[in-house]
Amino acid sequence: MASWTSIHRGVYSRRIASLHVRFADEDVCIGPPAARESYLNIPRIVAAAEITGADAIHPGYGFLAENAEFSEICERSNITFIGPTPAQIRQMGDKAMARQTMAEVGVPIVAGTDAIADPAEALHAAEGIGFPVLIKAAAGGGGKGMRVAQDSNDFARQFGMARQEAAAAFGDDSVYIEKYLARPRHVEFQVLGDQHGRVIHLGERDCSVQRRHQKLIEEAPSPALSQDLRERMGEAAVRGAAAIDYVGAGTIEFLLDEDGSFYFMEMNTRIQVEHPVTEMATGFDLVKEQIRAAAGLPLSMPDQPISLRGHAIECRINAEDPRRNFAPSPGTITTFHLPGGPGVRVDTHVYAGYRVPPFYDSLLGKLIVHASTREEAIMRMRHSLASFVVEGVHTTIPFLQDVMEHPGFVAGEVDTKFLERMMAERAPTQ
Ligand code: ADP
């Protein structure tokens, strides 16, 4: 088995390849399965572009998508990187620095510190902020290198572990400290910028349904925002992105506290997994806008503010076994039946006969529905999950079905601890 770029030359067997490889006109093998020898290997990706004469690279949402060095090398090799400039990626890639940039333009940030290395100094800062605190990797992503310290006794241990995890995951052990909010919502704004100085937002996504700080279900609009709060958060998001003259698609993530205060958390300088909910609720193709922005064209949206229409929900379908603590479930998919009908979209790279490799993220696909109200969108999601048949590997579909039936989710009363509570409620019956 080997790894392929999405420009493909037909010299390898396509029998087990992802769907996009099978559909592509050309494919190029970029190395063995281990990501650092293929998908994270910059010379091999650039060589694949050169071999095929590609003049642009879309980096997707993983691997090198937020890698400033990669964007720089593309620039030097006369290949357009479909994304922001290396400087913009760097400004937001260091989360402690990003907080500073936002604070300078008046975007609220959670009480916290800059990058801090000395344990005694860090403890002192944590006491000043007030426990519990969250220790976060400056280079962080995907919930890694993030540790909660409940009190000063617990602090030294968590601080040490966060640094170790950060070093292991990102090759950089710098961490910073933030006040840990008890029951926040995760509400993020989609922003877009072009090379003509225009920066806009396309409304929000609520991504509060998370397991271990990782998103499972996203929706737009957020059931928690009044129009006034939406406008204030959207304006702050645009101000933040405009502060670095942002070009391309990006996301400004906020924590929304129970009292309605909101705080900048981080900016993702790429398209996100959950971007289809925004596409469904606005009617705009975000990847097309990314390509336009990279080509120097203006954004295609009209001048007036964009509003969200109806309601969209996305469920991430993973090859994991929810009854065995979400253990990865690689293997061959034997049956794969997709749901359909109006307002139903599935983004996937798999099919019956595809072998889910053990090497990568376990995401099999994303099921997105759109309807005129949230209630109808939930019903549409329930029907779609029920007619989504995957056999041969375990999936998170049964778990997602339980969430869609949960009174708390149905009422829109979710925060980032919702799933933890839901799973604790269910634990005795398992
Ligand atoms: P990553 O880049 O690793 O995904 P984020 O900074 O985006 O990290 O945070 C991921 C999740 O962690 C958030 O959606 C939220 O659930 C939780 N989180 C982050 N910061 C805080 C905080 N200060 N208080 C409470 N929860 C937080």
pLDDT at 7 over 60: no
Residues with catalytic roles: 270
pLDDT at 140 over 90: no
Q: Is 132 in the pocket of ligand 1 (CB under 6 A)?
A: no
Q: State which ligand 1 atom lies nearest to the alpha carbon of 179.
A: 23
Kindly give the distance from the C-alpha atom of residue 30 to the centroid of ligand 1, in angstroms, as a whole number: 33
Domain ranges of the chain: 6-88, 111-179, 185-426
Nearest CA to ligand 1 atom 19: 265
Per-residue 3-state assignment (H helix, E strand, C coil) for the chain = CCEEEEEECCCCCCCCCCHHHHHCCCEEEEECCCHHHCCCCHHHHHHHHHHHCCCEECCCCCCCCCCHHHHHHHHHCCCEECCCCHHHHHHHHCHHHHHHHHHHCCCCECCECCCECCHHHHHHHHHHHCCCEEEEECCCCCCCCEEEECCHHHHHHHHHHHHHHHHHHHCCCCEEEEECCCCCEEEEEEEEECCCCCEEEEEEEEEEEEECCEEEEEEECCCCCCHHHHHHHHHHHHHHHHHCCCCEEEEEEEEECCCCCEEEEEEECCCCCCHHHHHHHHCCCHHHHHHHHHCCCCCCCCCCCCCCCCEEEEEEEECEEHHHCCEECCEECCEEECCCCCCEEEEECCCCCCEECCCCCCEEEEEEEEECCHHHHHHHHHHHHHCCEEECCCCCHHHHHHHHHCHHHHCCCCCCCHHHHHHHHHHHHC
pTM reported for the whole predicted model: 0.93
Which pLDDT value is given to residue 139?
87
Q: Is 397 in the pocket of ligand 1 (CB under 6 A)?
A: no
Interval 320-341 mean pLDDT: 96
Tell me the chain's radius of gyration from C-alpha atoms.
21
Nearest CA to ligand 1 atom 17: 213
3 — pLDDT class (breaks 50, 70, 90): low
Tokens of 328: 């990865």
Among candidate residues 65, 106, 97, 105, the one with its CA nearest the CA of residue 250 = 65
Tens of pLDDT, residue by residue over 383-400, are: 999 999 999 999 999 999
Nearest CA to ligand 1 atom 2: 141
Architecture of domain 111-179: 2-Layer Sandwich (3.30)
Q: Taking all residues of the chain, what is their mean pLDDT, rounded to a whole number?
A: 93
Kindly give the distance from the C-alpha atom of residue 258 to the centroid of ligand 1, in angstroms, as a whole number: 15
Tens of pLDDT, residue by residue over 78-101, are: 999 999 999 999 999 989 999 999
Tens of pLDDT, residue by residue over 185-217, are: 999 999 999 999 999 999 999 999 999 889 999
Q: Is 213 in the pocket of ligand 1 (CB under 6 A)?
A: yes
Kindly give the distance from the C-alpha atom of residue 354 to the centroid of ligand 1, in angstroms, as a whole number: 34
Which pLDDT value is given to residue 15?
57
More confident residue, 389 or 170: 389
Interval 28-53 mean pLDDT: 94
Domain 185-426 has what CATH class?
A: alpha beta
Q: Is 142 in the pocket of ligand 1 (CB under 6 A)?
A: yes
Architecture of domain 6-88: 3-Layer(aba) Sandwich (3.40)
Lowest mean pLDDT, pick from 301-305, 354-358, 381-385, 387-391? 301-305
Q: Is 141 in the pocket of ligand 1 (CB under 6 A)?
A: yes
Same fold, 6-88 and 185-426: no
Give, in degrees to the nearest 5, the angle at Cα 162 between 359 and 115.
115
Which of 189, 265, 272, 418 for mutating ligand 1's site (highest number of atoms within 8 Å of CB)? 265
